[in-house]
């Protein structure tokens, strides 16, 4: 195995090289249920969002247009975060949303105001999106590799971002947009080539 492939494989848990009978949710159905409790945001990301508040503000929910109220004041430690320091997005009461609450950036249709603002300004849709939002429903294992929790638990959760699929689908395909964004095109391509070779080598 060459060094490039070894490096690529070190970025993901072996679980992501498998296929499972799961697929993505539909925003039209879930209305952003995963935004129910908000998200932890690295202080660098908070600073970036606040510096761009002027272009984000017009796309915020009407009752959430005070930038100083977008984040909670309590800071926590997170060794996986670039600055090792995170704070939480504010969580608003939203009777119409899943479980009655939603992240301050969650719009009535389930879309994210940060993503809507980025698209409106011809930027990558995840330009302002916090790392943990892009990552979800993926996670990080103890070694910091990208992984996925037990699918059976996730598909049985009412507000899950995953649904059952009629047949197994490679997880690399299911989460292609996120993995390309987080790992880079080259690393993702390397992982795809590795799994393709291994599949071809498997006995009939």
Q: Which residue, of 128, 149, 181, is where some domain finishes?
A: 128
Average pLDDT over residues 85-107: 91
Range of the domain at 65: 40-128
Place of tokens 């070894």: 6
- Distance of alpha carbon 111 from alpha carbon 150, whole angstroms: 26
Pair type for strands 19-24 and 91-93? unpaired
- Kindly state whether residues 10 and 50 are assigned to the same domain: no
Angle, CA of 83, 87 and 91, to the nearest 5° = 155
Instruction: Note the pLDDT of residue 16.
Output: 96
- Residues 24 and 47 occupy one common structural domain: no
Residue 86 lies in a domain: yes
Closest by Cα among 91, 84, 79 to 43: 84
Q: Are residues 47 and 115 in the same domain?
A: yes
Residues 188 and 124 in one domain: no
| Average of per-residue pLDDT values in the chain | 91
Same-domain pairing of 99 and 164: no
Confidence of residue 152 (pLDDT cuts 50, 70, 90): confident
Give the span between the Cα atoms of 104 and 101, in whole angstroms.
9
What is the Cα–Cα distance from 174 to 195, expressed in whole angstroms? 14
Residue 101 forms part of a structural domain = yes
Write down the pTM of the prediction: 0.89
Q: Give the pLDDT confidence of 97-144 residue by residue, as tens digits.
A: 878 899 999 999 989 999 999 999 999 999 999 999 999 999 999 999
Residue 202 has pLDDT above 60, yes or no: no
Q: Cβ neighbours of residue 65 under 8 Å, at least 6 residues apart?
A: 57
**Domain check: are 110 and 140 in the same one?**
no
User: Which tokens sit at 168?
Assistant: 């197994």
* Interval 10-60: pLDDT, tens: 999 999 999 999 998 877 777 788 888 899 999 999 999 999 999 999 999
Residue 52 lies in a domain: yes
> Last residue of some domain: 111, 128, 145?
128
Q: What pLDDT shows up at residue 153?
A: 74
d(CA 130, CA 106): 13
Look at residue 203 in the predicted model and tell me its pLDDT.
Answer: 42
- State how far Cα 71 lies from the chain centre: 19
At residue 204, the pLDDT reads: 43
Q: Give me 22's structure tokens.
A: 């799961």
pLDDT band for position 149 (cuts 50, 70, 90): confident
Structure-token pair, residue 160: 């899950």
Domain end, chosen from 97, 128, 159, is at: 128
Instruction: Enter the DSSP assignment of 162.
Output: E
Residue 200: pLDDT over 80: no
Number of Cβ within a 10 Å radius of residue 185: 10
Rounded to whole angstroms, the maximal C-alpha distance in the chain is 61
Conformational region of residue 193, where left means phi above 0, alpha means psi within -120 to 50, and beta covers everything else: alpha
What's the total number of domains in the chain? 2
């Amino acid at each position: 195995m060459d060094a490039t492939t070894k490096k690529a494989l070190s970025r993901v848990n072996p679980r992501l090289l498998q296929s499972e009978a799961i697929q993505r949710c539909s925003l039209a159905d879930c209305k952003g249920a995963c935004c129910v409790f908000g998200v932890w945001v690295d202080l660098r990301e908070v600073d970036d969002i606040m510096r761009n508040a002027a272009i984000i503000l017009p796309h915020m929910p009407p009752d959430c247009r005070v930038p100083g109220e977008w984040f909670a004041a309590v800071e926590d430690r997170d060794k996986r975060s670039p600055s090792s320091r995170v704070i939480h997005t504010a969580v608003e009461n939203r009777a119409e949303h899943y479980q009655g609450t939603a992240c301050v950036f969650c719009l009535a249709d389930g879309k994210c105001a940060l993503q809507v603002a980025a698209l409106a300004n011809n930027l990558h849709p995840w330009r302002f999106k916090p790392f943990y939002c892009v990552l979800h429903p993926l996670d990080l294992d103890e070694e910091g590799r990208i992984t996925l929790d037990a699918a059976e638990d996730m598909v049985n959760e009412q507000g899950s971002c995953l649904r059952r699929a009629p047949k197994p689908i490679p997880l690399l395909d299911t989460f292609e947009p996120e993995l390309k964004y987080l790992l880079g095109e080259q690393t993702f391509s390397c992982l795809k080539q590795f799994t393709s070779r291994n599949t071809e080598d498997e006995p009939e």
